[in-house]
Amino acid sequence: MDATTTSKRAVFRTIAEHPNYQWPYYRIPDIEFTAADLDAFEHDVHRLASVWFRHDAHEDVEAFICWCPLYHLDFSPHDAHPAWHAQSKPTVPMVRALMLMDLHGWAHETAFVRYLAEQPALVDALGFTEVPDQATLWRARHERFSDELLDAITACVRNIRVLAGQNRVSVPPQKTDNTAEANTPRSWEQPNNDEPTQWEIIQRADELTKQAQRRIFPAFTFDRDKQASIPEDAFWELQTYLGLGEDLCANEGARSFITESTRERTPLGHVHRYHIRQQLSTNAIRDMYHKAMQRLLAEATSRSEYFGEAAVAIDTTAADPFTGNRDGHEDEIIGTKEDDDEYAYQWATIQVVGWGPRVMLDARPIRKGDTLVEIVTDLLESAEDLIRIDRVLMDREFDSQHVLETIAERGHDYFVPKRKRTSEKAVARRMEQNDVKTAVNERGLHLGNNEWHETTLLYVPKRNFDGEIEEGHERYVVFMSSEPILGSVEAHIGLYSDRQEIEAGYKQIKRFMAKTTSKDFVLRFFYFAFACLLYSLWRLIDHLVQVSFTDSFTDEPWVTMHDVLTSVKKHTGIG
């Protein structure tokens, strides 16, 4: 489908009606920006793109760049050619042209001019009366526009690519110019038309793993004497070794580590556990994890265009059911979310899903009495310090109106299935009686003190495990969303499938966990958090390897978990 006047109006109507969307940026009260500020340029393009690509009719990234309103902005402070200059092309069309050139990844103007010459409709849509020549484009990039404006253009295009990808809109692959310079890859790049061999993939993964490890290990620390006989890094190498083994406990793993490590002295199992229990706390572990993720994401940001706004999933996971005596640990070994009589240690996480590497941004322990609002607020505060969050996905466990209000107040959209109460069951029954497939209802959720949270309820049919349609209200599943429904309900619901990735992540993470029977809460949480870090390292390395060869990435890993862990072993002196 092509963009229409109606679909464009829907975009602006959505922005105008959303309480947390502002446009244009420089007109926001109490914001000291002007139309000439490049932050306003980046914000306005980002906000429009975030809504534009959610509409079913908007499936063309080039069309967005050509349409995106820019005439309300003032580029004159960054434009060396005055408007009356005889050789100047209009500013906005030139900015759009450079955005389009950046989108396709052309390093030289000749290929871009040839591309425009073959598409007169695109030239007209950009705002030109004729195809700009190569010299005009070269001057714009090297003489006319400031470096700050060129950087802002690149940032805008990076966000456009990310937001399009998040909404399943095809992004043009970045092309390689037909010139000697363009065909010379950077140290970590490969031309798109040259398929890498498995050996090249593994070599690249090994290089990136080595660089990443140098960043993350310094984030972990004990309060030990610097002159201690066993270096501190040996403890983190031992923990890595325990995570790489199959159900290795500290004592058994430490004995094997002595022979496999290249170090002269390594910690014994009981010494390793002692330092974790006595010198760390759950807060200290989370602080170290946060610093490690900052370092990992800094490495990724320098190599990948992925980090615009991201969708995240918040969920909880339980350790294996606890069958021993939990006296004195009732606040830590708690009932699971399943409808049974089992008890277990529980952790909450926030993970990137959808577009980008599936890294675990943070993990926190759950104790008896922790509320959902406290858990969600805590995880969002931590994640917001690492990335920009667009959409928060959760399961039915989090369908509290106070949780939803908390997320909305922080400026994020949410998507969560709702447990059907009496009113939702009644709506579903009426839909079945009238053979209605989908429905969208506005709803106010009571917060107390005569305050309400406004949300949108979406009703869609569900199927049982045999693929058969249920009957009665069970025929429908209900979702709550703060996002505008710009296209079909089914397409909107499809975005929720990204949340399922976190379950696959939990299964992998448990493979990285050292084995223990200890009831110590700090030790248990440390084992889980370190496993999350190893998992995130793998997903990030796989992402960077794909980007280095193709400037894009897929859900299907190129690099196996075994490849990365083998590299980890090598670079930590194990084996």
Q: How confident is the model at residue 100 (pLDDT cuts 50, 70, 90)?
A: very high
**Confidence bin at 183 (pLDDT 50/70/90):** very low
- Give CA–CA dist 149/326, Å, rounded: 61
Q: Give pLDDT, residue 29.
A: 58
DSSP-H helix ranges across 30-133:
38-52, 61-67, 91-104, 109-117, 120-126
SS3 281: coil
| 179 confidence band (pLDDT: 50, 70, 90) | very low
Residue 407 scores a pLDDT above 90? yes
A 10 A CB-CB count for 120 gives 12
User: What confidence tens digit (pLDDT) does each residue in 22-61 have?
Assistant: 777 666 655 566 788 888 888 888 888 888 888 888 888 9
Strand 388-393 relative to strand 413-418, pairing? parallel
- Provide φ and ψ at 454, rounded to 5°: -85, 130
User: How much is the pLDDT for 393?
Assistant: 92
| pLDDT (0 to 100) of residue 181 | 35
**For position 379, what pLDDT does the model report?**
96
Q: Where does the pLDDT of residue 176 fall: very low under 50, low under 70, confident under 90, or very high at 90 and above?
A: very low
Token digits for 292? 């490690």
**Whole-number pLDDT of residue 203:** 78
- Whole-angstrom CA distances from 473 to 217, 395, 467 are 52, 19, 17
Is the pLDDT reported for residue 445 higher than 60? yes
Query: Is the pLDDT assigned to residue 366 strictly greater than 50?
Result: yes
Query: What confidence tier does 85 reach under pLDDT thresholds 50, 70, 90?
Result: very low
Torsion of CA 397, 403, 405, 409, to 10 degrees: -130
- What is the value of pTM for the model shown? 0.69
pLDDT score at 406: 93
> Is 556's pLDDT higher than 90?
no
pLDDT over 50 (residue 190) = no
pLDDT at 79 over 70: yes
Query: pLDDT class for 553, splitting at 50, 70, 90?
Result: confident
Does residue 233 register a pLDDT over 80? Answer: no
**Mode of pairing for the β-strands spanning 309-318 and 388-393:** parallel
pLDDT of amino acid 246:
64
- Which residues, other chains included, contact 450 with Cβ-Cβ below 8 Å and sequence gap of 6+? none
Q: Measured between alpha carbons, how far is 204 from 188 in angstroms, rounded to an integer?
A: 8
pLDDT tier, 382 (very low <50, low <70, confident <90, very high otherwise): very high
Residue 525 CB contacts under 8 Å (≥ 6 apart), including other chains: 282, 285, 345, 347, 363, 365
* CA angle (277, 281, 286) in 5-degree steps: 125
> Above 80 in pLDDT, residue 196?
no
pLDDT for 186 equals: 30
Highest mean pLDDT range out of 250-259, 517-526, 562-571? 517-526
Average pLDDT for residues 3-13, to the nearest whole number?
A: 84
Average pLDDT over the chain, rounded to an integer: 80
Taking only Cα atoms into account, the Rg of the chain, rounded to an integer number of angstroms, comes to 27
> Greater confidence, 406 or 545?
406
Q: What sections of 175-264 are H helices per DSSP?
A: 198-216, 232-244, 250-260
What average pLDDT does range 462-473 have in this prediction?
A: 60
Among 540, 521, 444, smallest CA distance to 208 is for 540
Cα–Cα distance between 553 and 165 in angstroms, integer?
10
How do 439-448 and 451-461 pair as beta strands?
antiparallel
pLDDT greater than 80 at residue 473: no
DSSP line for 429-488: HHHHHTT---EEEEEEEEEETTEEEEEEEEEEE-B-TTSPBP-GGGGEEEEEE-S---S-
DSSP character at residue 569: H
Distance (Å, rounded) from C-alpha 347 to C-alpha 341? 18
**Mind listing the pLDDT tens digit for each residue in 480-527?**
998 877 767 777 777 777 777 788 788 888 877 878 888 889 989 988
pLDDT exceeds cutoff 80 at 415: yes
Band of pLDDT at residue 248, cut at 50, 70 and 90: low
Per residue in 109-125, pLDDT tens? 888 888 998 888 999 99
pLDDT > 70? residue 255 = yes
**Mean pLDDT of the region 152-170:** 82
Residue 161 pLDDT:
83
What's the N-to-C CA distance of the chain in angstroms? 56
Other C-beta atoms within 10 Å of 433: how many? 9
- Please give the single-letter amino acid code of residue 157: V
Averaged pLDDT, 367-384: 94
For 272-327, the pLDDT digits (tens) are 777 788 878 899 999 989 988 888 887 776 665 555 678 899 999 988 888 888 88
Distance CA 234, CA 255 (A): 13
Select the more confidently predicted residue: 180 or 329.
329
Cα separation values, 9 from 160, 171, 442, Å: 20, 23, 21
For the chain, percent of residues with pLDDT exceeding 70: 80
Share of the chain above pLDDT 90, in %: 15
- pLDDT at position 283: 93
> Once rounded to an integer, what is the mean pLDDT over residues 532-538?
86
DSSP letter string over 321-344? Answer: PP-S--TT-TTTSEE-SSSSS-EE
pLDDT value for 231? 67
Task: Give the per-residue pLDDT at 24.
Answer: 74
Mean pLDDT computed over 239-260: 71
pLDDT of residue 184 exceeding 60, the answer is no
Give strand pairing partners of 314.
350
Where is average pLDDT lowest: 36-40, 200-204, 313-317, 391-395? 200-204
